[in-house]
Amino acid sequence: MASEYGLNAERAAVQLSGWPLLSLSFQALGIIYSDIGTSPLYTLNGIWPTNGPVPSEEDVVGGISAIIWSITLLPLIKYAFIAMWFGTKEGEGGSFALYQGLYPKQEVSVDADRTLTGESFTRDSASKRTVKERARWPLLFWCLFGTALTMADGVFTPAVSVTSAVGGIAVAKENVANDIIPISIAFLLALFFVQQFGTQRLAFTFAPISFIWFLILIGTGIYNITFFPGIFRAFDPSRAILLFVRTKDYGLLSGVLLALTGCEALFANLGQFNAKSIRLSFCTVVYPAIVLAYLGQGARLIHGGADILQNVFYTSIPGPRSGPLYWIVFVFGILATLIASQALITATFSLIQQLINSKAFPPLSMHYTSETIQGQVYIPAANWILMAVTILVVGVFKNLANLSNAYGFAVATVMFSTTWLIAVQIRYIKGLPVIVAFAYFIPFGFFDGLFWGAALKKVPEGAWVPLMIGCILLSVMSLWVWSKALEDEFDGKNRMNLRHFLRQKQGGGDDGSSNDHADATFYMLRDGDGHTEAMDEKAGRDIVEITRIPSCAIFHKITAGQGVPHTFTGFIRQWPSIPRVVIFLSLHIVPKARVPVEDRYVVTKVRTVEGFYGVTYYIGFRDDFDVKINDLVDKICLMEAQINPADSPPIIREIRTVTRTAVHIAPHYHVVSRKVNAGSLSPIVNYLRAFLLESIYLRLATMFPETANWLTSADEIIRVGINAVI
């Protein structure tokens, strides 16, 4: 049991081969790629707007060349082949996963977490800060900003993709052009509603549709290339360079950037799938399809001119407008854009899961939707907030060009963030020479920087919206990381060795005194016969008699660590009595969907005080948190029988009697900002500190308690209020 569910039970990346790998690769088509796969709907009109002049033949060839080489260098080489090597050991990807790779969470000994006594409450002495340690907070701030913009991308992907697809109606039926926005909103409402059914079900539903969509792109692309086979000159990268030399229009890059939308989803969705499945599906289906689609559109634009420019994608569909093939492509275009929206919505759920697990975001309730992949989650609050903001954006940005401007800025910033963090990982995690990190960063940083600069110019034209959303999310995450770290530090400092806090006299033994706790208040238990005896008679010590009551209490340890949590000491001060059976429960979620009932509880008994137990509660990521007191008592009684077979029967009878009902006790920290010395700025610093901690963080912590994802029914909980001066 310990080896299976203890320290070695760490979540790992999904490892598959053969048919399971092919199945997962096929599912990836329905979740990850429809965003980049639907970019042909709007990219060329993003480079050459409908109301602008018709580009020359050489300009079109240069533009298609820029698109093809951008897709090759960034989504294919950078993301599919390089970034996949930099996921966490749990298999997660994205900006925050890169930070976790640099500064992994400290591993906690599950067995030591059940230790309530002992002399191991020492802390490492401060060591010399390395360059890596000095860079912790700047890197955290930067990666949180990248993560925030990826989440903002989850708003604009549905908005841009769905609106672009629905816009095809106006090509065939001009009289419904004014209804594009309401129709788009209706589709978006349906999309967010089905999120509750889970990634796996949606993937199996969407994958066939996405596969047909990519076949349509391949077929129409090949057909359109026949109109101008010279478009294959676009494979010459010099054509792209000459385009910018000739036109001197740096802004064209912001249009080319639209072809890359969704490339971050390849990496961010790593936890939902795995590296092999993403590489296989991208290289064999997605990359060839979108390259052929852009070549075909370029050929038709050169051949058709102004007639094609009004809507490059829909006017280049083979056959007559409003013909059967047109409507087939239109229907699959709508479906594909809905699936494209799914890619970033799913990635947003995955990112929020990482943030919550790392205590960098308020703990929203999470529902695990897969029996095999722990990274597949549904977060209701995030889903409905995304839906509301997306619909608001669609309603406000009635012009598709402005929507595209806003969209591109978020994409470019996240790409640049990923490049920088990977370069740092190459040096400090992979241990490769600095020259290797520079060899990666210089070319990819150069291209990302070009795109970011072009997108930055669009801030006044709509790109300020994702920037604003990103800054709001960054503020929330930064506040939560800082405040939660202070609160956890308070919790750790206030843990106590149980033998230093109370002691039951059972004949002999030490007096429980400790120089480390010279100022502590010592408590004394009343024996079963009513006899009491002071444990310490030194001057200045308060002796308090505590009565045992025939009941059972389960104290939840919110943070991992040795010793008695502050909840217990706070409880004793408020209710000077101790239940006959006291259980300190630590939750440990294992990387399995479900844990058998017989393996869920591991119990350690406190030898120096009768009736105290440390318990590790193992559950799978799809198990509901449900402490069955009867199952737990069975484990405790079995352990008592093994420790002392002769004398255990009366003890076991008493335990079973008092544990017929149990109450759960959890802390409620009321944070209070401590005064800090900042010289002449102390009044301002202390005011801002108190405002952030007491007015904002405390309200958020009350709205989103840390126990939201695992605690039992509210009817069975006592919350012990504790002033946490942090």
Name residue 671's beta-bridge partners.
Answer: 724
Pair of tokens at residue 134: 């000095």
Is 217 a residue whose pLDDT tops 90?
Answer: yes
Q: What is the pLDDT of residue 539?
A: 42
**Model confidence at 412, in pLDDT bands (50, 70, 90)?**
confident
**Model confidence at 529, in pLDDT bands (50, 70, 90)?**
very low
DSSP conformational letter for 80? I
Tell me the whole-structure pTM to 2 decimals: 0.76
Instruction: State the average pLDDT over residues 632-642.
Output: 91
**CA 511/CA 501 separation, integer angstroms:** 11
Instruction: State the average pLDDT over residues 191-199.
Output: 76
Instruction: State the average pLDDT over residues 258-263.
Output: 85
Tens-digit pLDDT profile for residues 710-726: 556 666 788 888 888 88
**Model confidence at 152, in pLDDT bands (50, 70, 90)?**
confident
Q: What is the pLDDT of residue 613?
A: 92
**Model confidence at 524, in pLDDT bands (50, 70, 90)?**
low
Q: Are 32 and 273 in contact (CB under 8 A)?
A: yes
Query: Of all helices (H) and strands (E), which one includes residue 296?
Result: helix 287-304
DSSP conformational letter for 286? I
Q: What is the pLDDT of residue 182?
A: 85
- E strands, 3-142, are none
- E strands, 541-611, are 543-556, 577-590, 601-605
Is 397 a residue whose pLDDT tops 80?
Answer: no
Instruction: State the average pLDDT over residues 9-26.
Output: 67
What share of the chain has pLDDT > 70, as a percent?
80
Q: Are 426 and 432 in contact (CB under 8 A)?
A: yes
Burial of residue 603, with CB atoms counted within 10 A of its CB: 0-12 exposed, 13-18 middle, 19 or more buried: middle
* Out of 373-382, 417-426, 531-540, 670-679, least confident range: 531-540
Q: What is the pLDDT of residue 530?
A: 41
Maximal C-alpha separation, the chain: 102
Q: Are 137 and 405 in contact (CB under 8 A)?
A: no
Is 414 a residue whose pLDDT tops 60?
Answer: yes
Angle at 446 between CA 440 and CA 450, to 5 degrees: 150
Q: What is the mean pLDDT of the chain?
A: 80
Q: What is the pLDDT of residue 2?
A: 44
Question: What's phi and psi for 644, nearest 5 deg?
Answer: -140, 80
Question: What's phi and psi for 579, nearest 5 deg?
Answer: -60, 155
* Out of 326-335, 408-417, 517-526, 573-582, least confident range: 517-526
Choice between 80 and 405, residue whose per-residue pLDDT is larger: 80
* Out of 114-128, 179-193, 237-251, least confident range: 114-128
**CA 209/CA 339 separation, integer angstroms:** 9
Strand 377-378 and strand 367-368: the pairing is antiparallel
Q: What is the pLDDT of residue 199?
A: 57
Is 172 a residue whose pLDDT tops 70?
Answer: no
Angle at 403 between CA 401 and CA 406, to 5 degrees: 110
Q: Are 693 and 671 in contact (CB under 8 A)?
A: yes
- Of the candidates 234, 206, 214, the one whose C-alpha atom is nearest the C-alpha of residue 293 is 214
Q: What is the pLDDT of residue 130?
A: 63
Tens-digit pLDDT profile for residues 608-625: 778 899 998 888 766 777
Is 301 a residue whose pLDDT tops 90?
Answer: yes
**CA 398/CA 717 separation, integer angstroms:** 50
DSSP conformational letter for 168? T
Q: What is the pLDDT of residue 516?
A: 39
Angle at 38 between CA 237 and CA 179, to 5 degrees: 130
Choice between 22 and 228, residue whose per-residue pLDDT is larger: 228
Tens-digit pLDDT profile for residues 68-93: 999 999 999 999 999 888 877 666 77
Tens-digit pLDDT profile for residues 364-390: 888 776 655 555 678 888 889 988 988
Name the 3-class secondary structure at 671: strand
- Of the candidates 489, 565, 411, 484, the one whose C-alpha atom is nearest the C-alpha of residue 75 is 411
**Cα-based distances in Å from 593 to 11, 183, 369, 622:** 11, 39, 10, 5
- Of the candidates 488, 480, 392, the one whose C-alpha atom is nearest the C-alpha of residue 148 is 480
DSSP conformational letter for 542? -
Write the CB contacts of 333 (distance below 8 Å, at least 6 apart in sequence). 38, 41, 165, 168, 213, 313
